Amino acid sequence: MCKRLMATFCIVAIASAASAQTRAGFQPEGRGRSGPERGGRAPAETNRPADSMIRAYALQHVKADEAARTIVQLMGIDVVPDSRTNTLIISATEVQAEEVAKIISKIDIPRDDSLDRSTLTTVSIHNREVHDVAAQVSEMFRRDLVVSADERSRQILLRGDAEMIESALRVISSIDTAMPTATVEFAYFQVGSTDTDFSMETPKDLLPIAQQIERFGRPRLVGRMMTAAVEGQVFSLKGQIAERTFVNLTGRLIAAPVDGAVKLELTSDLSMRRMTTDDDQQKVEVPRFSLSTTVMTKRGDYIVLGSAPLGWAPGESVVLVVQVNNSTK
């Protein structure tokens, strides 16, 4: 009988040690005891980054399975929900753990009675700034939905009644549309010079403009550029456009309605290098043409932004011509 008692004691001791080991495997630093729900499994140990660790996150307000689905959608990592203790068990690196903590802070929040049976939905934003869309939706549904934005994944998290979420999704769909676009063309004319070696032939579509600016002197086309612009975004053009002619142009398409006036903000700097002789010594001279302005024009119209003396021969100047067209042109 003594032998049977000793054998029983050994079996119990081994089983207890194994149970303690299992619990220790899911015990993160600085957190209480947790484990996967019955029938679940811990995150796979294989193919994990060397610096990843098993971590547990105890939730207070949101259900573990609901939070797990959200984190998987946003981050694509293994998450095991423990419904019994309302805990998430995650294999993650330090960087991933910080991101998980941020997501949990957004979704694990107190809810009033009206949101007690709410659902959690995520929606991806493709064309607009995530924060801006979330702010608009939050303002419209502030009494019915909890709205938060995840900038990294470009997604918005919605919590609330299913019917209200459907309404919010329709609003988001109407907001998250492609930004208006346009092509912007720039043409630089040198005016008043009778001796230049960096002019180019004026194309037919610019001949009417060249005729209009002849009152400043004989026009010669120095360079022509084109860029695609998106409403609200900055564009930049920089480089050499003709022999010894360099341009640095930045701008922003402030407003680009299909019908109506297009508003454009521009800053242009043009330099033309040439050799000069001073006291029988040759040197490089870099006259500059600088302009900073905001213009309004219709698509298809040309606008002459003005002329500015370059300090060359009397009457010499540069004229910048701009045209805004549809992006499909």
What residue segments make up the domains of the chain, in order of their start?
A: 43-110, 118-178, 181-325
DSSP string, 242-307: ETTEEEEEEEEEEE--SSS-EEEEEEEEEEE-EEEEETTEEEEE--EEEEEEEEEE-TT-EEEEEE
Whole-number pLDDT of residue 296? 92
Residue 227 has what pLDDT?
A: 92
Spatial distance between the Cα atoms of 155 and 147, rounded to a whole number of angstroms: 11
Distance between CA 52 and CA 33 in Å, rounded? 19
User: Would the pTM count as exceeding 0.85?
Assistant: no
Phi, psi of 287 (to 5 degrees): -65, 150
Cβ contact 125:155 at 8 Å: yes
Give the other-Cβ count within 10 Å of 71's Cβ.
Answer: 23
The confidence score (pLDDT) of residue 250 equals 94
Residue 314: its pLDDT value, please? 63
* Per-residue pLDDT at 117: 52
43-110 matches 118-178 in fold:
yes
Instruction: Give mean pLDDT in consecutive 10-residue pieces for the chain, a chain of 329 residues.
Output: 40 34 36 41 52 84 83 82 88 85 81 60 90 90 85 87 89 89 90 61 87 82 89 90 82 87 90 64 65 90 74 70 80
Pick the CATH number of 43-110 from 3.40.50.10140, 3.60.15.10, 3.40.50.150, 3.30.1370.120: 3.30.1370.120
Asked if 136 and 158 touch (Cβ cutoff 8 Å), the reply is: no
pLDDT of residue 31: 41
Measured in whole angstroms, the distance separating CA 215 from the mean position of its chain's CA atoms is 46
- What class, spelled out in words, does domain 118-178 have in CATH? alpha beta
* Token pair recorded at residue 283: 């040197």
3-class SS at 1? coil
What per-residue confidence (pLDDT) applies to 316? 72
Do residues 257 and 180 make contact, with C-beta atoms less than 8 angstroms apart? yes
Task: Give the amino acid at 85.
Answer: T
**What's the chain's length in residues?**
329
